[in-house]
Amino acid sequence: METAHRRRPGGPRGRLGIGNLYEYDRDRIGFLQRSQQEYGDVFRYSPSTSFVLEPGLTHEILAQTNRDFGAESFLFSGTRAALEEFTKVAWTGRRASRPGLNPKTVALLANSLLDRFRAVANSSNEKEVDVFDLMCQFTSGAAVNFCFGEQNAGTLAATLDRTATAIDAVTNSSLTYPRWLPIPRVRRAVKADQMLRNVLSAQVYEARQTGVSSDAAGLLQVLLSVADEPLKDDVIVEILHAVLRGARGTPAATLTWAVRELSLRPDIVSRIAAEARGLETLTSSGQFSSSSLPYTEAFVKELLRVYPPAWILEREVRHDTCLGEWEFTAGERIIVSPLIVHHDSRWWSSSPSTFSPERWLSGTMPHARHAFLPFGGGPRVCFGRQFAFLELTIAVAALAADYTIQITNLDTSPTAPQSLLLPRGLRSRIQCRASYA
Ligand code: HEM
């Protein structure tokens, strides 16, 4: 291997004792953009952490995940053995659940997603609500529906919501907490996580005893029906846990951005509403896909470009390795940022600072290769992206066609996003205009 021209990335030195922590925490996005301008696409944040903000290198990191780079997908940072075990489980589950996740099967859920969205939105009719909380009610129910069909959907969604608050307090933090740390927030999170796993274990046990009926189809049924190498209960629980956790906050964040943008852009609302006429007929056809509503789909893509909820992704370097002209040593952390790449004008054919769904409708790819990555990439690419597109398109179409949105506080731009990019605290009144309210 040629190493003569390899070098370690440079970067801002920061302050004595705390390095760049203060500047980063004050304005995370601004800090990254300023550091990129000064030091280039690859820079060192601290002795053990670097940012990589170029699409080709980002792709290389994501594509080499599980080989050269480890992913911290475990709840809090577990041991290496636990992480490796999780990776194995995630892979088995991904293969096993392929039939449950293909676009045809996912399309069958379209009508119940529409009903679910309307039920949640109507429950808050005219009340001022926290938009993210409201959207989580929808995505929790949708996630449970996706995993278990309609059976027990209400109770399970409530458990997911209850446990999510305690777990998110730890996983959404900028700090990494070890599971054993004896502080109340970690104890609460571990307890909630255990409670969620217990509930899922009981579901799996019950489904094995009673057999899952076909009208209760869902991912669980797919996992239980794997014939070649049947999955053990704890593996199924791990998969359901990952899917339920992945399917709640992230799409809810995108829908919170959708509410914000729609409230500011009546022209977009009119176009989506016109396209969404007859939404019910479309969703009940069993053939619905996000491309059934091309403008709405373009709006969703633009939301995911401008506000990718998973705005940074972390990897750990597994062994000394090189990336382009840079070298990294085992144990270092590398962070990539879909957000920064999505806003870098070098990679976009028209200005990335303009919010423009139209960029997705020209028939040609509006960005350089690997420059649009809201769902990550490589072996850990989002497991639920087809389902996510479906639920986001349906919810946005229903919002624009059937509701009037009034935002009560717009000043919620996140300069210091934690694990999710989110207009935290956004409140609104969502009023139903349609006759079924
Ligand atoms: C706006 C919607 C969503 C976005 C932007 C999103 C984004 C992502 C990203 C970026 C990753 C990769 C993380 C990494 O590489 O470290 C990921 C993983 C994952 N997502 Fe999503 N996601 C969304 C919705 C969903 C939904 C609806 C589901 C389930 C139905 C889901 C399930 C998962 C799971 C289980 C993983 C972990 C995959 C693995 O470790 O192999 N996500 N998601």
Taking only the tens place, the pLDDT of each residue in 402-422 is 999 999 887 666 656 778 999
Residue nearest to atom 22 of ligand 1 (CA): 382
Instruction: Please name every residue paired with 52 in a beta bridge, in sequence order, or none if there are none.
Output: 42, 336
CB 311 less than 6 A from any atom of ligand 1:
no
Ligand 1 centroid, distance to 436 Cα (angstroms): 33
The better pLDDT of the pair 372, 386 is held by 372
Q: How far apart are CA 427 and CA 350, in angstroms?
A: 32
Range name among 173-177, 199-203, 343-347, 351-355 with the lowest pLDDT average? 173-177
Tokens of 396: 């946005």
Ligand 1 centroid, distance to 167 Cα (angstroms): 17
pLDDT digits (tens, 9 = 90+) for 212-236: 555 456 788 888 887 777 888 888 8
Our mutation pick for probing the ligand 1 site, out of 62, 373, 375, 421, counting the most ligand atoms within 8 A of Cβ, is: 375
Round the average pLDDT of the chain to a whole number and report it. Answer: 87
Q: How far apart are CA 159 and CA 193, in angstroms?
A: 11
Residues 6+ apart with CB under 8 A from 237: 197, 200, 201, 204
Our mutation pick for probing the ligand 1 site, out of 250, 303, 312, 390, counting the most ligand atoms within 8 A of Cβ, is: 250
Distances (CA, A) of 218 to 137, 143, 221: 19, 10, 6
Residue nearest to atom 13 of ligand 1 (CA): 376
pLDDT digits (tens, 9 = 90+) for 268-294: 999 999 999 989 998 988 888 889 999
pLDDT of 251 strictly over 50: yes
Phi, psi of 329 (to 5 degrees): -110, 160
Our mutation pick for probing the ligand 1 site, out of 97, 334, 383, counting the most ligand atoms within 8 A of Cβ, is: 383
CB 257 less than 6 A from any atom of ligand 1:
no
Helical (H) or strand (E) element with 429: strand 427-432
Section 66-80 average pLDDT:
65
3-state secondary structure 68-86: CEEECCCCCCCCHHHHHHH
pLDDT score for 86: 61
Range name among 80-94, 137-151, 297-311, 334-348 with the lowest pLDDT average? 80-94
Helix/strand/coil for 376: coil
Tokens of 308: 């990718």
HSE, side-chain direction, 13 A CA sphere, residue 164: 23
The better pLDDT of the pair 40, 207 is held by 40
Q: The pTM is what?
A: 0.92
The better pLDDT of the pair 357, 101 is held by 357
Confidence label for 76 from pLDDT (cuts 50, 70 and 90): very low
The better pLDDT of the pair 349, 1 is held by 349
CATH of 24-432, one of 3.30.43.10, 1.10.630.10, 1.10.599.10, 1.10.150.120: 1.10.630.10
Distance of CA 308 to the CA centre of its chain: 8
